[in-house]
Amino acid sequence: MSLYIDRAEYPAQPDKNLLEVCLSLGLDLPYFCWHPALGSVGACRQCAVKQFKDENDQRGRLVMACMTPAAEGTRISVDDPEARAFRAQVIEWLMTNHPHDCPVCDEGGECHLQDMTVMTGHTYRRCRAAKRTFRNQYLGPFVNHEMNRCITCYRCVRFYRDYAGGDDLEAQASRNRVYFGRAADGTLESEFSGNLVEVCPTGVFTDATLKQHYTRKWDLQNGPSLCPHCALGCNTLIGERYGEPRRVLNRYHHDINGYFLCDRGRYGYGFMTAPSRLSAPLLRPAADASLHPAAADEALAAAAALLREGAGIIGIGSPRASLEANFALRRLVGPERFFAGVGEAEGRATALILDLMRQLPVPVATLRQAEDSDAALVLGEDVLATAPRLGLALRQSTRHAALAAADRLNLPHWDAAAVQVAGRDQRSPLILATCASTRLDDAASATVHGPSDEIARFAAAVAHALDGSAPEVAGLDEARRQLAQAAAAALSSAQRPLVVAGARGGEALIRAAANIALALHRRGRATRLVWVLPECNSLGLALLAPRPLAEALAAAEAAGAPTAIVLENDLYRRAPHRAIDAFLAKARVAVIDHTRHATVEAAQLVLPAAAFADGSGTLVSSEGRAQRYLRAYPAAGDITDGWRWLGRLGALADGRAPDWQSLDEVTRACAAEFPTLAGIVDAAPSAAFRAGGRKIPRQPPRYSGRTAMRADRQIHEPPPPADPDSALAFSMEGHPGQAPAALLTWYRVPGWNSVQAVNKFQQEVGGELRGGDPGVRLLQADSAAAAGFLAGDAPEPFARRPGEWLLLPHDLIFCSEELSLLAPAVAQRAGPARLLLHPGDLQELGLADGDPAQVEAGGETMHLRVQPDPALAPGTAALPAGLPRLPWLDLPAWGSIRRVRG
Amino acid sequence: MSYFINTLATLGRYLLHSFRPRATIQYPEERPAIPPRWRGRIVLTRDPDGGERCVACYLCAVACPVDCIALQATEDEHGRRYPAFFRINFSRCIFCGYCEEACPTDAIQLTADFEMSEYRRTNLVYEKEHLLIDGPGKHPGYNYYRVAGLAIGGKDKGEAENERPPVDVRDLMP
């Protein structure tokens, strides 16, 4: 099996097209409309090559490489003069209307159009005609629009509409006036709009947050990081200039995020430079004094004194702090005194999920596997809000029916337009069970709405319908039973069914979801599970076996005046206000965090922790994968990693040397103590790693301004800061070649300056990164485990209470996550949070859309405007989760709603 | 004998030299004639309309072989980009002129001024206020925004040179 490119023999790959094969082989062939995740449409005519019939054919004919299968015996020439001239001509056409504005274009220096123009050799505009112009649109706080630069490759709408399911960006007008925009100015509604920045091969869609502090790609000092805004563990690349993060780019990971990020992950980085960021230690000299900045030594001495004097030191860990920081706290206070800084129900649910991950024979899916599933059931989670990238993966999973239709017609999967036509109106089953309507509902084959107990009953019914030996649900109404049977039928007819559930749904629902997966597993289906967890290190914290927070609060009640070390946590987001007020009033609290919040305001002592751009550590994603994030730039002033503060603190309290000085030491200590965590050492190469005897540079080779950027303060250039925690250097000097996948700091090879250069870092186009994708799976399903169903009665059916509403937590992508909401762009996108009610209930209350209402529950009073949602069950109301201005409630909870005068 | 002749001939040549025109000039009382393409003190110029020419594209900074140019881009409310700060560390500058060559807007120019000596290195760090002059320098006519497709205050889409008016996307005419 072989094909011939310019008379050289290469292996044929009939399931690939010629463009993919050429790029995988490292040949430079220009292209625009093809994208590895979007497939080929053959629109731009840029990847023309010459194809020959056989070895005697001297004439050949021009074909589009992206539309031609790389079949056995194919003979092509990339280098053929006619093909080269054709490609140069196409670029020249595309450039006739391109504006003369590269110097003020944010894409300049990382522009695919620039790269392709240089590659084809086009230099001067011969066309004398006047250029076409367009008016731009305001597209919201995330994406900037400059339509003059468009080359009509259609990638934006193919991503936005066909891939991400958006419907407010479209191709308008005709012929050479084609315009990509919205019907009217306004914010792009899709949760994935930020990907347009990377999908667009030119500067039509650029990062609007980067524009506010614009820096060229070659001037950004980068660090391989992880997204801290949900538990999926998407890989990101943080770019820094002048001591602040400037942008987040997608860092390709074959099994997780692939080519795309959600907008929360891309634009949430603003929290690291928000006014709430802590930059210096804070001390409270007297109980009634305010916090004031202190020197690091002074603060550490005060903390050590606090530790010595305290009646009993307790540590409260955090699901958003690194594994190392949580471990360091646990080591400092002892396992008996280490508590999980998570809500009661969330802690129980996470512990149960962790147990199930270890015990079930059903494996947990990566996002790639979720995308490859051919039927999915989502239980109790609005994934677009709690794990947005999973929502995009589930949307792709519905394409399998279309792909199957294409298979029947012998159409290759990369032929995007043909697959779309062949599979028109055909979608793989995606069943969503949520409390309110979600933005994924349009992709669903069926939706079930109700409070989490009702969803748990539905899930139990599905499990029973799949396997009679699973527990039965009593008193299920007929409509639900039929829905459950239909869902069971859809799942059991799939080859690779997927079950998604999460901590939000509660234990009954988690057990029911596990039973469904078990039933499918017993039927011999390649079943997989996805557990949605609330925060970036929820699973990592659970793996350290902390005690529940309620016990810490109770212990404080009993122990007189305890000392508490709170690690990267706002306790007011974890338990009722009164309980936390009482705890903080009694305890002497030291907080280690990067962000100022209500708990910080009540602390005696605050130590500034590094965040994701200036800190390093390990996170365990909801998939059970340990991944390392490494700082992009040295932290300013006294800011340092939580684990380093805790190491110093422990040493100072006991008067000995710190247990660890570097990340590798604390990671090894953590791995040695927990056998499950043994793998975290291998999540990334250690600080001792050298490539060709050198460190990996964080700065691109053309990093500018080195001798001028600090010259206003200090005329002598300091040596680059040392980084004891990683094999990366804060320098442009170092290994010039490709770094291991976990240490990649940018995507660029000569001739390929844009993000499209990722092709050159993959083993094959769209495949794994060279040297294997980073991260280590810590938990593997035990395929030999007993597949017995989990016992447990289904909850009681939901019954309406007169004059009361069951308040349900309603997750919102841009409101519910603590850190991203501090980013100005995300806060702008968050919009007003509304209380959702069934339209009938609204009528009953005498309220109309947008009216203010007062909600009372759990002793708290809240004011919110209402909004109708027909999907909500009558008698329930959906309350925005995690909103800082609303008090914490243990939801679901019964409460009253009444009308107030606006 | 020949020794004396040689000595006298040398003395004679010295004597003739003292009547020749002087190559040395009495700087600073006398000013040297500097050719216009001399690569001396760097300035930032303005376009013929008085606007700042620099669009903060970072090309001078990346072209600089000693990395002595640092700047930060920002924008005014109409989308015109300019440097928020622009710093050249002349104690590192080698006056190679690559920045001028790289500049797409003719903003950064090397001038004939070479009198930049300072007793303190810190005084050789020039900020934008020290660099920006009031005229167009060597290129009197050029205004980048008149040819670029970007709309700025006072110049809407389609008003640049060689541009058609903006497309009406609602228009159905062929």
Write down the pLDDT at residue A833. Answer: 85
Cα(A479)–Cα(A464) distance, rounded to whole angstroms? 16
Query: Could you report the per-residue pLDDT of A20-32, keeping only the tens digit for each?
Result: 999 999 999 999 9
pLDDT value at A786 more than 80? no
Determine, for residues A134 and B157 on separate chains, whether the beta-carbon distance falls below 8 Å: yes
Contacts of A214 in chain B (CB under 8 A): 56, 73-74, 81
Among A507, A534, A561, where does a domain finish? Answer: A534
Residue A766 lies in a domain: no
Nearest by CB to A704, which of B69, B158, B169?
A: B69
**Which domain covers residue A577, as residue numbers?**
293-342+536-625+641-673
**Peptide linkage before B28 cis (omega within 30 of 0):** yes
Query: Could you report the per-residue pLDDT of A307-336, keeping only the tens digit for each?
Result: 887 667 899 999 999 999 999 999 999 999
pLDDT value at A888 more than 80? yes
Q: Are residues A832 and A843 in the same domain?
A: yes
Residue A515 lies in a domain: yes
Among B53, B67, B144, B173, the residue to mutate for chain A (most A Cβ within 10 A): B67
Q: What is the DSSP letter of A651?
A: H
Element (H, E) at A209: helix A208-211
Closest chain A C-alpha to B150 CA, distance in angstroms = 7
Among A534, A557, A585, where does a domain finish? Answer: A534
Contacts of B71 in chain A (CB under 8 A): 705
Cα(A434)–Cα(A809) distance, rounded to whole angstroms? 11
Question: Taking CA atoms, what residue in B is nearest to A135?
Answer: B166
Determine, for residues A708 and B68 on separate chains, whether the beta-carbon distance falls below 8 Å: yes
Q: Are residues A595 and A540 in the same domain?
A: yes
Q: Which of A670-679, A789-798, B122-131 has the lowest mean pLDDT?
A: A789-798
Strands, E assignment, A242-325: 244-250, 282-283, 292-293, 313-316
B129 CB within 8 Å of a chain A CB: no
- CATH of region B34-147: 3.30.70.3270
Residue A880 belongs to a domain with what CATH number?
2.40.40.20
Domain count along chain A: 4
B72 CB within 8 Å of a chain A CB: yes
Percent of chain A with pLDDT over 70: 100
pLDDT band at A902 (very low <50, low <70, confident <90, very high): low
Q: Are residues A315 and A388 in the same domain?
A: no
Contacts of B126 in chain A (CB under 8 A): none
Write down the pLDDT at residue A328. Answer: 96
Among A486, A509, A534, where does a domain finish? Answer: A534
Q: Are residues A373 and A503 in the same domain?
A: yes
Query: Could you report the per-residue pLDDT of A707-716, keeping only the tens digit for each?
Result: 999 999 999 9
Q: Are residues A566 and A666 in the same domain?
A: yes
Write down the pLDDT at residue A310. Answer: 65
Determine, for residues B149 and A100 on separate chains, whether the beta-carbon distance falls below 8 Å: yes
pLDDT band at A586 (very low <50, low <70, confident <90, very high): confident
Q: Are residues A454 and A508 in the same domain?
A: yes
Contacts of A109 in chain B (CB under 8 A): 58
- In this structure, are residues A686 and B48 in contact, taking their beta carbons and an 8 Å threshold? no
End-to-end CA distance of chain A: 74
- The 3-state DSSP class for residue A807 equals strand
Q: Which of A214-228, A466-480, A485-499, A692-706 has the lowest mean pLDDT?
A: A466-480
Contacts of A172 in chain B (CB under 8 A): 169
What the block records as the tokens of A259 is 């080519």
Nearest by CB to A99, which of B67, B149, B166?
A: B149
Residue A833 lies in a domain: yes
Q: In chain B, what are the domain boundaries?
A: 34-147
Among B122, B169, B170, B173, the residue to mutate for chain A (most A Cβ within 10 A): B169
Cα(A609)–Cα(A281) distance, rounded to whole angstroms? 9
Q: Which of A418-422, A423-427, A438-442 has the lowest mean pLDDT?
A: A423-427
Determine, for residues B149 and A177 on separate chains, whether the beta-carbon distance falls below 8 Å: no
Residue A373 lies in a domain: yes
B84 CB within 8 Å of a chain A CB: no
Write down the pLDDT at residue A435. Answer: 92
For the stretch A160-163, contacts whose Cβ atoms lie closer than 8 Å and that sit 24 or more positions apart, written own/partner, are A160/A188, A160/A190, A160/A192, A160/A193, A160/A196, A162/A38, A162/A416, A162/A420, A163/A37, A163/A38, A163/A392, A163/A395, A163/A396
Determine, for residues B73 and A215 on separate chains, whether the beta-carbon distance falls below 8 Å: yes
Q: Are residues A488 and A371 in the same domain?
A: yes
Q: Are residues A451 and A490 in the same domain?
A: yes
- Average pLDDT of chain A to the nearest whole number: 93
Determine, for residues A707 and B122 on separate chains, whether the beta-carbon distance falls below 8 Å: no
Percent of chain A with pLDDT over 90: 84
Query: Could you report the per-residue pLDDT of A626-681, keeping only the tens digit for each?
Result: 999 999 999 999 999 999 999 999 888 877 888 899 999 999 999 999 999 999 99
pLDDT value at B110 more than 90? yes
Q: Are residues A298 and A400 in the same domain?
A: no
Q: Are residues A542 and A530 in the same domain?
A: no
Residues 6+ apart with CB under 8 A from A293: A280, A281, A282, A283
Write down the pLDDT at residue B23. Answer: 84
Residue A388 lies in a domain: yes
pLDDT value at A1 more than 80? no
Nearest alpha carbon to residue A884 among A809, A804, A819, A840: A819
- In this structure, are residues A745 and A327 in contact, taking their beta carbons and an 8 Å threshold? no
Q: Are residues A330 and A380 in the same domain?
A: no
Q: Are residues A847 and A859 in the same domain?
A: yes
Determine, for residues B89 and A707 on separate chains, whether the beta-carbon distance falls below 8 Å: yes
B110 CB within 8 Å of a chain A CB: no
Closest chain A C-alpha to B36 CA, distance in angstroms = 27
CA distances from A25 to A304, A762, B154 (A): 59, 11, 50
Nearest by CB to B68, which of A130, A214, A707?
A: A707
pLDDT value at B117 more than 90? yes
pLDDT value at A115 more than 70? yes
Among A97, A104, A209, A214, the residue to mutate for chain B (most B Cβ within 10 A): A104
pLDDT value at A340 more than 70? yes
Q: What average pLDDT score do residues A603-622 get?
A: 95
pLDDT value at B78 more than 70? yes
pLDDT value at A615 more than 90? yes
pLDDT band at A13 (very low <50, low <70, confident <90, very high): confident
Determine, for residues A708 and B87 on separate chains, whether the beta-carbon distance falls below 8 Å: yes
